[in-house]
Amino acid sequence: MTQHLLNPMMLKRAIIRDEQYLHAVAILNQSWSLLDDMGSIQFLHDRDIIFARALQKAGLIKGKYDLFDYKQVSEMIQKNPSWYSGSSGMELLRPFQED
Q: What's the pLDDT score for residue 2? A: 59
Residues sharing a CB contact under 8 Å with residue 33, sequence separation 6 or more, in sequence order: none
**Residue 20: closest CA among 38, 1, 42, 45:** 45
Mean pLDDT value of segment 12-33:
91
Residue among 36, 42, 38, 49 at smallest CA distance from 82: 42
Residue-range domain boundaries for the chain: 8-96
34-84 pLDDT, tens digit each = 666 666 556 788 999 999 999 999 999 999 999 999 999 999 999 988 888
